[in-house]
Amino acid sequence: MKTVDDINREAQTDLRERVKELSCLYNIAHLASQKDITMSDMLKGVVEGLPSAWLYPEAACARVVLDGRSHCTNNYRRLCHRQTVPIVINGKLRGYIEVGYSDKRPRRDHGPFLNEERNLLEAVAKEVAIVIMRKEAEQDRSKLEEQLRHADRLATVGQLAAGVAHELNEPLGHILGFAQLAQKCPDLPTQAQADIGKILSTSLYAREIVKKLLIFARQIPPQKGKVNVNHLVTEVLNFLESRCVSNGINVVCGFSSNIPEIDADGSQLKQVFVNLIVNALQAMPDGGCLRINTRGESRKVSVVVEDTGVGMEQEILDKIFTPFFTTKEIGLGTGLGLPVSHGIIASHQGTIRVESKAGKGTVCTIELPVKRVRRYRNEARDALF
């Protein structure tokens, strides 16, 4: 039979355990309330704080596994006893938290563990899940805001480009017209003929730049028809085949066999594919691998162009759709290839996405919508006649 002293000792022990558990929850809640803390630092704080709430804190070790990445205490090793609770976010299992001992311990409610410890671990897992949901929501919002800012910048640049292009078109037309008239004059000196030829070729080059600016600003509407992107990519690869061979580029294609036709301007899309593939070739001066995959779905088709080239830093990646921005040497590019490609894809209600890391290559993904004619039921059709 228990004495009063025994009951007091048990009550004091229980009280100490509850205080430890509440302190642990408080510390984790404090970590979670820090807005600037990274996910990694928060999870490290969780695993470091958990053992102190267990019955044998000096021997307890903890681990958090999230999306395959593990964070554990320094003393973590193979466990003889463990408690494990899943981390579930939006109904999806993303990882788990476990606390245990690597050596034998006296038996309690469940092995060497208390019922309250299990409840604490479940509460911690729920708190971690809430923090992760909040962090990911903030990241998604920040990403969306940046996309909106980027779209606004492109729209502003597009308006400026359209204005500049229209202002340049008229004087360029006059220059070309007068140069062509001058070229027809009889008895022109040889040097004058050569100079007029240079004026004409330079003016035509400038007019092409103006045309690209208008395409970027979506001032030239696409001439749409039924096209198959597999055929377009194949034509572009045939055109660039000799260049790929001379550069030591291994081209690997994975074309979807059941890709649907889309309503698009075939010549404009070929220009996009030429821009992307030429960029990939220039990024692999010492040779490499160029992969082009297509995929067809009910509502969209995708074209993915991937290279094993030099890649880009994030600072450069943020500017690639800005007109006239280029990292190439003078004479190797105008800085209009990707902006024009962006304008063409946008005019087709599609998206173009570029992912890259320095030294690890670049992946360009184009998605274009498939417009299907709505089919009415036979009964409805029959009712019309």
Q: Average of pLDDT values for 233-260? A: 90
pTM of full prediction above 0.85: no
- The residue among 337, 63, 352 whose CA lies nearest residue 216 is 337
The predicted-structure confidence for 34-45, as pLDDT tens digits, reads as follows: 777 788 888 888
The predicted-structure confidence for 50-63, as pLDDT tens digits, reads as follows: 888 777 778 888 89
Label residue 383 by pLDDT band (50, 70, 90).
Answer: very low
Label residue 384 by pLDDT band (50, 70, 90).
Answer: very low
The whole-number pLDDT of residue 269 equals 92
Label residue 221 by pLDDT band (50, 70, 90).
Answer: low
The whole-number pLDDT of residue 161 equals 65
The whole-number pLDDT of residue 380 equals 34
Higher pLDDT, 381 or 347: 347
Distance CA 69, CA 185 (A): 77
Q: Average of pLDDT values for 311-335? A: 76
Residue ranges of domains in the chain: 4-140, 142-217, 225-369
The whole-number pLDDT of residue 377 equals 39
Helices and strands per DSSP (H, E), number in the chain: 9, 11
Domain 4-140: which CATH class? Answer: alpha beta
The predicted-structure confidence for 10-24, as pLDDT tens digits, reads as follows: 566 665 666 666 677
CATH code of the domain made up of 142-217: 1.10.287
Contacts of 212 (CB under 8 A, 6+ apart): 334, 336, 339, 340
Q: Average of pLDDT values for 194-221? A: 75
Higher pLDDT, 381 or 183: 183
* Torsion, Cα of 137, 303, 305, 273 (10° steps): -120
Label residue 330 by pLDDT band (50, 70, 90).
Answer: low
Q: Average of pLDDT values for 81-97? A: 89
> Is the pLDDT at 376 greater than 50, yes or no?
no
Percent share of the chain, pLDDT over 70: 79
Q: Could you check whether 4-140 and 142-217 share the same CATH topology?
A: no
Mean pLDDT of the chain: 80
Distance CA 82, CA 80 (A): 7
Q: Average of pLDDT values for 231-245? A: 90
Label residue 157 by pLDDT band (50, 70, 90).
Answer: low
β-pairing, 288-296 with 249-254? parallel
The answer to whether 175 touches 210, Cβ cutoff 8 Å, is no
- The residue among 270, 252, 276 whose CA lies nearest residue 362 is 276
Residue 320 CA: distances (Å) to CA of 154, 215, 222, 263, 281: 11, 16, 23, 27, 17
> Is the pLDDT at 291 greater than 90, yes or no?
yes
Higher pLDDT, 367 or 193: 367
> Is the pLDDT at 234 greater than 90, yes or no?
yes
Distance CA 55, CA 218 (A): 69
Ranges 110-119, 215-224, 281-290: which has the least confidence = 215-224
C-alpha torsion sign, points 378, 381, 384, 385 = negative
Distance CA 61, CA 74 (A): 8
> Is the pLDDT at 373 greater than 70, yes or no?
no
Task: Return the structure tokens found at 233.
Answer: 């990519």
For the chain, the residue count is 385
Task: Return the structure tokens found at 319.
Answer: 């500017």
Higher pLDDT, 336 or 252: 252
The whole-number pLDDT of residue 150 equals 64
Residue 90 CA: distances (Å) to CA of 23, 93, 119, 126: 28, 8, 21, 12
Beta-bridge partners for 306: 291, 363
Label residue 378 by pLDDT band (50, 70, 90).
Answer: very low
- The residue among 327, 316, 369, 338 whose CA lies nearest residue 157 is 338
The whole-number pLDDT of residue 354 equals 93
> Is the pLDDT at 124 greater than 50, yes or no?
yes
Distance CA 332, CA 309 (A): 17
Instruction: Count Cβ neighbours within 10 Å for each residue of 261-274 and write b for 16 or more, e otherwise.
Output: bbebbbebbbbbbb
> Is the pLDDT at 101 greater than 70, yes or no?
yes
Q: Average of pLDDT values for 310-335? A: 77
Task: Return the structure tokens found at 127.
Answer: 């708190």
Distance CA 136, CA 132 (A): 6
- For domain 225-369, is the CATH number 3.30.565.10? yes
Distance CA 46, CA 272 (A): 49
Distance CA 343, CA 214 (A): 9
> Is the pLDDT at 375 greater than 50, yes or no?
no
